[in-house]
């Protein structure tokens, strides 16, 4: 993906029909929605992105997210946009980040994904080089692929009827429900078909379903030029670190031989360190568990004169629980720290696995 600095474009004269809707007055005029374009235009083939993505909404809990893979470094800094309770956007090909920023602004003020997309298309002076997918917090989805995006290029959205997907080619806006999948410079249309079908058939959390779709997309051929970077963005109200923000998952693989495999590894790590404990994973600190943890607390922190414990406890005494709490903060298990005489099974397994490996 080649991204260029923004130069404000002139308002296009072409009228695009869209359904009426009600929004609050916007803090910008149509002519101020800039069309980002190169200062010096390179050859057309060079300036287009080589990307596939899927944006989606989870009706079960309101999660919104984007997953993307590209033959371009740090695709996560460009393509995925999302805001909890509002929507999600993937802007690619000759990416215009206004579709992300202003698309979310429009959806936040009442526009559907399709309406927001069409409004922004009106002012884009390089419209036919763009590819965009959008979904709003009511489950409406839309996708557009410009006429001059490189083959294979196109998109799919979830069928309005709830089963299957609707396909669209170059120069088309397609609208549907729940998700939008799109790709350009693909080996074939099988990548986008796989994205849509795998997502629709998958179960579990939105993040896991997006990852299933991404892997299926690559299995369908993926980018003609290969792989380089990937990203996963999922937003949830108060889903971020210790509930202080909405950035539930924000993982970027800047550059890797297999960015999807690396994204899988980082998602596993993220779940360990940022997801709170599940009630089913809580174990009482019985004497047998204390006996397994005490040697660690007596020997660590490594290289520090003062250890977490100074003597054996034999049971989950207040001194032991305090030592375990401090140890867990030191080891970055912040969101899974407990002081109620229990320990998270996932954390326990990670603690023991790391020390067993060292031995």
CB atoms within 10 A of CB 353: 10
What is the per-residue pLDDT for 26? 53
User: Spelled out in words, what is the top-level CATH class assigned to the domain 30-274?
Assistant: alpha beta
What is the per-residue pLDDT for 19? 44
| 222-245 pLDDT tens trace | 777 888 999 999 999 999 988 899
What is the per-residue pLDDT for 358? 61
Give the C-alpha separation, 11 to 32, whole Å.
8
Residues 85-114 have a mean pLDDT of 96
The region of weakest confidence among 34-38, 263-267, 293-297 is 34-38
Which DSSP helix (H) or strand (E) runs through 52?
Answer: strand 51-57
Give the C-alpha separation, 40 to 198, whole Å.
40
Residue 84 corresponds to which tokens in the numbers above? 């909890």
Nearest to 104 by CA among 92, 112, 94: 112
Beta bridge partners of 55: 66, 180
Contact of 57 with 134, CB cutoff 8 Å: no
Nearest to 184 by CA among 135, 126, 140, 144: 144
Residue 334 corresponds to which tokens in the numbers above? 């912040």
Burial zone of 242 (CB within 10 Å; 0-12 exposed, 13-18 middle, 19+ buried): exposed
Residue 301, pLDDT above cutoff 50: yes
Residue 189 corresponds to which tokens in the numbers above? 């249309």
**Cα 161–chain centre separation:** 26
What is the per-residue pLDDT for 34? 52
Give the C-alpha separation, 43 to 268, whole Å.
40
Residues 247-254 have a mean pLDDT of 97
| 43-77 pLDDT tens trace | 444 444 468 999 999 999 999 999 999 988 999 99
Residues 309-332 have a mean pLDDT of 97
Nearest to 64 by CA among 203, 195, 235: 235
Report helix, strand or coil for 342: strand
Half-sphere exposure of 160 (CA within 13 A, CB side): 5
φ, ψ at 335 (rounded to 5°): -75, -5
Give the C-alpha separation, 98 to 111, whole Å.
16
What is the per-residue pLDDT for 150? 87
| 104-149 pLDDT tens trace | 999 999 999 999 999 999 999 999 999 999 999 999 999 999 999 9
Per DSSP, the residues of 108-129 read HTT--HHHHHHHHHTT-TTGGG
- Beta strand 172-183 with 154-158 is antiparallel
Give the C-alpha separation, 269 to 60, whole Å.
24
User: Which of the four pLDDT bands, split at 50, 70 and 90, describes residue 161?
Assistant: confident
Residues 141-161 have a mean pLDDT of 94
Q: Angle at CA 94, nearest 5°, toward 39 and 132?
A: 140
- Beta strand 80-83 with 64-70 is unpaired
Contact of 318 with 257, CB cutoff 8 Å: no
User: Which of the four pLDDT bands, split at 50, 70 and 90, describes residue 186?
Assistant: confident
Give the C-alpha separation, 35 to 126, whole Å.
7
Nearest to 155 by CA among 125, 126, 176, 124: 176
Please state the domain extents for the chain. 30-274, 279-358
User: Which of the four pLDDT bands, split at 50, 70 and 90, describes residue 332?
Assistant: very high
* Angle of helix 345-358 versus helix 259-274 axis, rounded to 10: 120
**What is the distance in angstroms between the CA of the first residue and the CA of the last residue of the chain?**
45
């Amino acid at each position: 993906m080649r991204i260029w600095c923004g130069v404000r474009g002139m308002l296009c004269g072409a009228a695009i029909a869209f359904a009426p809707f009600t929004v609050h007055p916007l803090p910008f005029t149509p002519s101020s929605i800039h069309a980002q374009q190169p200062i010096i235009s390179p050859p057309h083939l060079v300036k287009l992105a080589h990307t596939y993505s899927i944006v989606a909404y989870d009706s079960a809990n309101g999660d919104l997210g984007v997953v993307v893979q590209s033959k371009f470094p740090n695709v996560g800094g460009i393509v995925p946009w999302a805001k909890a309770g509002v929507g999600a956007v993937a802007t690619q090909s000759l990416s215009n980040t206004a579709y992300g920023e202003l698309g979310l602004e429009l959806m936040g003020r009442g526009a559907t994904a399709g309406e927001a997309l069409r409004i922004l298309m009106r002012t884009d002076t390089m419209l036919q080089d763009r590819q965009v997918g959008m979904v709003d917090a009511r489950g409406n989805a839309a996708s557009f692929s410009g006429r001059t995006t490189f083959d294979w290029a196109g998109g799919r959205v979830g069928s309005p009827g709830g089963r299957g997907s609707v396909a669209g080619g170059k120069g088309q806006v397609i609208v549907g429900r729940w998700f939008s999948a799109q790709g350009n410079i693909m080996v074939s249309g099988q990548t986008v078909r796989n994205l849509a079908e795998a997502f629709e058939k998958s179960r579990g959390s939105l993040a896991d379903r997006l990852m299933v779709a991404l892997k299926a997309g690559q299995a369908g051929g993926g980018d003609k030029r290969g792989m380089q970077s990937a990203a996963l963005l999922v937003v949830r109200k108060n889903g971020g670190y210790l509930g202080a923000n909405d950035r539930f998952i924000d993982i970027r693989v800047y550059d890797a031989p297999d960015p999807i495999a690396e994204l899988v590894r980082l998602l596993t790590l993220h779940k360990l360190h940022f997801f709170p404990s599940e009630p089913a994973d809580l174990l009482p600190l019985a004497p047998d568990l204390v006996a397994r943890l005490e040697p660690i607390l007596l020997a660590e922190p490594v290289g520090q004169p003062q250890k977490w414990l100074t003597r054996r406890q034999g049971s989950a005494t207040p001194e032991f629980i305090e030592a375990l709490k401090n140890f867990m903060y030191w080891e970055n298990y912040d969101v899974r720290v407990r002081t109620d005489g229990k320990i998270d099974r996932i954390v326990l397994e990670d603690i023991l696995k790391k020390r067993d490996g060292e031995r």
